[in-house]
Structure formats: C-alpha cells, structure tokens
Amino acid sequence: MMWPPLPARNLDRAELQALVDELAAEPGRWNEHVAFADGRRHYVSLHRDEYVDVWLLCWTRADDTGWHDHDISSGAVRVVRGAVRESSPRIGGEPAGRVVAAGGSFSFGPEHIHRLAGDDDQAVSIHAYSPPLWRLGQYSIDAEGVMRRESVSYADELRPLEASVAA
C-alpha cells in the first residue's frame, strides 16, 4: 500500500497531528492490524523512515504504559475507536487526566511526560513520532516520592514500572 508523501525532514507537532488525523480517515491503511490479545497490548509499526515513525495501538482497560517520555521525539495521537486516558504528573498533587474519545487527537513535544491507558474494552489509536523513536524514558516513583528515569528501547512494550502510582 502506498504511504502518503511526507517531507524529507522531521515533522513538527502540528504536522504530526495532521498526519494521524489523515490516517484515521483512511482505515484501509491500518484496519487489518487491529487485534486484541489477552494480557498484553497489541501494537504494530505502520511506517518508519528516517524522519517519521507511525504506530497502531490497540487497548483494553487493563493496558497502561506507565509514566514515560519520548526522549527527543515529538508526537501525536489520534483515537479511532473507543477511548484512551492520558495522565500527566503534577508536583504535589494528583495527576492531571483527560479521556480522549474516538475522533479526538492531541500532540506533544519531547519534554512531555505522560501515561496512557485504555479507557474502553477495545480502543484503537494511531501514534506518529518525529524524529522516529529510538529511546524512551520510563519513570518510576519510589516509596519516598523520588522519581527515577530509565532509558528503554522504542521496541519494548511500555508497562508501569511500579504498581504504587495511580494513573
């Protein structure tokens, strides 16, 4: 299948959001990859080149990425089925959270730390990153409230590093 023409450069947040919105309107490009597996989130790389990385993720209510960043990459997410919950940490308070339902999209810069979780039994989202993901930062918070960052490969499935921090 032909991929939409993309500029030969890194894309900014607005361009990434436009890309996921465009792809959402073309289910023939990704619908065959939608699947729900027992016990783990299903995800598929749809496209990867020198400038852009695009993924399809399938979520259930049990799926949770844990706290993470995208290292040097900006990103965008479009929910195409169901709903996904995004949480952002706050110093001295409960995480800020929002539910993004089908048809909603958002973008973020490389400085953004968040956590995504399924808010529906069969949610589906499209994610685009630029530059392509290589490393991610995964965070844990110890019993004294100290946050630690661990660098992980983009190919590893993100899961919470600890059970003590609520989404």
List, for residues 28-72, the tens digit of each pLDDT value.
Answer: 999 999 999 776 788 999 999 999 999 999 999 999 999 999 999
The tokens describing 57, both together, are 């993720």
Residue 17's closest CA among 152, 130, 163? 130
Q: Span 63-88, mean pLDDT? A: 96
45 contacts 153 by C-beta, under 8 angstroms = no
The dihedral formed by the CA atoms of 156, 161, 163 and 167, expressed in degrees to the nearest 10 = -70
Q: What is the pTM of this model?
A: 0.90
Considering only residues 143 and 166, tell me which one the structure prediction assigns the higher pLDDT. 143
Q: How does residue 141 score in pLDDT terms, banded at 50, 70 and 90? A: confident
Encode pLDDT of 94-132 as tens digits.
899 999 999 999 999 999 999 999 999 899 999 999 999
What pLDDT, on a 0 to 100 scale, did the predictor assign at position 163?
44
In order, the DSSP letters of 105-140 are EEEE-TT--BEEEESSTTEEEEEEEESPP-EEEEEE
Considering only residues 107 and 163, tell me which one the structure prediction assigns the higher pLDDT. 107
What pLDDT, on a 0 to 100 scale, did the predictor assign at position 92?
81
